[in-house]
Amino acid sequence: MTMKYRIGYLAAVAATAFAIAASMPVAAASGPAEIQAALDAAYAKYRDLQEGANADYIPALAKVDSKIFGIALVTPDGRVYTAGDVKSEVSIQSISKVFTMARVIEDEGLDAIEKRIGVDATGMRFNSIVSVEFAQKALGGPEINPLVNPGAITATSMVQGATRAEVWKRILDFHSDFAGRPLSVNKEVYESEAATNHRNQAIGALMYAYGFIKSDPAQATDVYTEQCSISVNAKDLATMAATLANGGKNPVTGKQVMKSENVPGVLAVMATAGLYDDSGKWLYHTGLPAKSGVGGGIIAVAPGKFGIAVISPPLDAAGNSVRAQKAITLISNSLGGNPYAARSAR
Ligand code: DON
């Protein structure tokens, strides 16, 4: 090797080393003590924050204890870090949309979601009927996506199964595999939402009328309502997020829950639409694909680094937990979670 080539070779090795260091898992870049300290600091900082209010358009959600505040972070090596109340459970609500979308992608491939529903942000509220009107293929308007209600109810209608019971089992089992334990439904929340979800029933009917849903829309809306009522704690949600951060393999149970090649598509929709009309703001501050639920949970995924979840029921005007947004932002940024924040090579 001549001197010129040797210098070029060494430069290439150094560049590779820098690139690897820049994308190093947080477990290697931040030790367990730093991760725990980041969780503890966020918990202490926001424990007494009282902004926002529980969702009340689903009557059972108004009764949930607003003080619940739990933080969990799971790394690809299966370590679980927690702060605050990680035992209390809330209903998963819209966070389930991520996993039902993933179920459909696993069954039918990435194209199925893109072609039938779309993968663009609507910029509108999660249960906007205007977005459905715009999305009519005949009008050629902007698309929707599987993380807003019209797209989510459509995704639920696409889950394979000969009977309602079979469809439901495939959805619940899939969520349980992500969480690493058998999950169950909060019956009170399910019944409360089923008795009051006329708007979602209308959305389901419209999606059927416009040809997006091709089976019974009432059943699709009902199964969607049940999936939103799955009961989870912060650790469940963090493990679900960490499974996405770990290429579809649950880092705690070791089970490959979904194909690694399908994960980036799921994360892309989370990045563009996970926090609804506030998704841009969220991405601007964290860079993380995330998903919120009106039960008060938010999950966020730092690919290759960690999955994090916070539960705190009081929501802001867009329907996203106030304390969860603040705590995840603080923790992720202090641990170098933002995938856009690469270090300079020199
Ligand atoms: O369909 C609904 O209205 C609820 N089951 C879920 C909405 C939701 O979680 C929106 N999230 N921020």
Rounded Cα distance, 267 and 272, in Å:
9
Q: Note the pLDDT tens digit of each residue in 150-165.
A: 999 999 999 999 999 9
Residue 136: pLDDT band with limits 50, 70, 90: confident
Residues in CB range of 135: below 8 A, 6 or more apart: 118, 141, 142, 143, 144, 150, 210, 212
Distance (Å) from CA 60 to ligand 1 centroid: 13
Torsion of Cα atoms, 216 then 219 then 225 then 227, to 10°: -100
Which ligand 1 atom lies nearest to the CA of residue 275? 12
* CA atoms of 291 and 294, how far apart (whole Å): 10
Cα-to-centroid distance, 91 and ligand 1 (Å): 10
Region of residue 305 (left: phi > 0; alpha: psi -120 to 50; beta: else): alpha
Residue 118, pLDDT > 90, answer yes
Q: Which residue owns the Cα nearest ligand 1 atom 4?
A: 93
Q: Write out pLDDT tens, residues 165-199.
A: 999 999 999 999 999 999 999 999 999 999 999 99
State how far the Cα of 57 lies from the Cα of 111, in Å rounded to an integer: 34
Atom of ligand 1 nearest to the CA of 320: 12
Residue entry with tokens 């459509």 = 154
Per-residue pLDDT at 206 exceeds 50: yes
Residues with CB under 6 A from ligand 1: 93-94, 126-127, 149, 193, 200, 228, 292-294, 319-320
Which one of 228, 231, 270 would you pick to mutate in the ligand 1 pocket, going by the greatest count of ligand atoms within 8 A of its CB?
Answer: 228
- Cα distances (Å, whole numbers) of residue 116 to 99, 126, 144, 189, 211: 17, 18, 10, 30, 9
